[in-house]
Amino acid sequence: MEQAVMMRGRMVHFASGETQLQRYGRDDSEVIWSVHRGRLNIVMLDAAEAAGARIHFNRRIDGVDFERRTLELVDDHARSRFCEPFELLVGADGAGSAVRRAMDAVAPLGERIEPLGHDYKELEIPPGSDGSFMLEANALHIWPRGGYMSIALPNTERSFTVTLFLPTHPPEGEPAPDSGPVASFQTIPTVADARALFDRDFPDLLPLLPDFDRDFVDNPTSGLSTLYLDRWCHGDVAVLLGDAAHAMVPFHGQGMNCAFEDCVSLADKLCDDGLCDTGEALAAFEAERRPNAEAIQRMALENYVEMRDRVDDADFLLQRALERVLADRHPGVFVPRYAMVSFTLVPYATAFARGQVQRGILVELTRGVERLEDVDLDRADALVAERLVPLDAA
């Protein structure tokens, strides 16, 4: 936690220049945290070593012989290639997994990769000249602009990592704006084009980015996709987890959390005496985690639309306000989906299903209503009682 900065909610930066904090939870017990990725990796490596793991750097898996249970490894530094035996292979090697490729080659996994059609690029807001944060520190900042957005997350060294999300190509059939470039990575090939876009769409953000030109050129533009597989296991020999099994778009901030939940589930199943052998344990792991991974993949896609397009929309804000009221009136029963995903260990699939029911209730109660005071709360109570059981009984 020493490496983390608390984020109480979304600080929305409207096109008008006004800002508004939309809290994630009820109070400071329901917040999310921004953690430096590199430092988190070091904490994890230290914990793994302390638990008895041996870590080998610069050894890349390049092939797997599942029959003989051997890995083919490449050391790119020493330019050498060698084999290592294994008992059980856990492919936690990320979205471009070499283990997945090897598994797919011997028995197809039903791989489907759906590109989002939007890419991202990171930029940086350094600390001010007095060493302070240049924006409110305890918030996730969003500049929603309809089909695209920028966000900024605080770091412990008082900088912010900014991420620009834009369509890869110009949206089809949309007329070019009167001023500045169309918002897509394809239509801003030069720094001057990118500056023109920021000047028009993020004029309050641009002055906070002193190294804009350098960052824009040096930092890669990276793609975003969702990966779906029909199978994660190869008998009792190999299993995939984390991004290797279910890479997702980053808009719920849950990719890593989902990977951690995979680890807990896999460890439980491997230690479960009720399961006869490793093959059964791997199958039970996949049966438990795959529906949950699919649910958070879907919620992550939905959250992109919410972040870039809905956080400044009147209907959405009314539904959010009502959601709070219902959460207070029915604690443990009407729990906002974001809270279930972010502040509890409720399985993602349960959060998704209950979220659908709750969304239905909110839409029904706010139809034709403009102000929170005009919502019929007796009807709201009746709908909650009729459609939701307490979360701990679900």
Ligand X SMILES: Cc1cc2nc3c(=O)[nH]c(=O)nc-3n(C[C@H](O)[C@H](O)[C@H](O)COP(=O)(O)OP(=O)(O)OC[C@H]3O[C@@H](n4cnc5c(N)ncnc54)[C@H](O)[C@@H]3O)c2cc1C
Stretch that binds ligand X, among 93-101, 143-151, 266-274, 337-345 (CB under 6 A): 93-101
Q: Which of 11, 12, 13, 93 touches ligand X by CB under 6 A? A: 93
What are the structure tokens assigned to 109, written together? 């996994």
Find the shortest distance in angstroms from Cβ 127 to ligand X.
Answer: 21
Stretch that binds ligand X, among 50-58, 240-248, 318-326, 351-359 (CB under 6 A): 240-248
Count of residues that interact with ligand X, criterion CB under 6 A:
18
Q: Which residues contact 190 (CB under 8 A, 6 or more apart)?
A: none
Q: Which of 250, 336, 347, 355 touches ligand X by CB under 6 A? A: 250
What are the structure tokens assigned to 339, written together? 């809270």
Q: Which of 167, 181, 242, 347 touches ligand X by CB under 6 A? A: 242
CB < 8 Å & 24+ apart, contacts of 337-340? 337/299, 338/24, 339/24, 339/25, 339/30, 340/391
Within 300-319, which residues bind ligand X (CB under 6 A)?
Answer: none
Site string for ligand X, 134-163 (x = CB under 6 A): -----------------------------x
Within 104-123, which residues bind ligand X (CB under 6 A)?
Answer: 120
Q: Which is nearer to ligand X, 307 or 333 (CB)?
A: 307
Q: At what angle do helices 314-329 and 348-366 cross, to 10 degrees?
A: 110
What are the structure tokens assigned to 315, written together? 């209907």
Q: Which of 119, 124, 243, 286 touches ligand X by CB under 6 A? A: 243
- Residue found under tokens 């890419």: 119
Q: 141 has which bridge partners?
A: 11, 152
- Residue 98 touches ligand X, criterion: CB under 6 A: yes
Residues, the chain, total? 394
> Rg (Cα) of the chain, in Å, rounded?
23
- Residue 215 touches ligand X, criterion: CB under 6 A: no
Among candidates 121, 146, 184, which has minimal Cα distance to 306? Answer: 146
Chain residues binding ligand X by CB under 6 A are 60-61, 92-94, 98, 120, 163, 242-244, 250, 253-257, 259
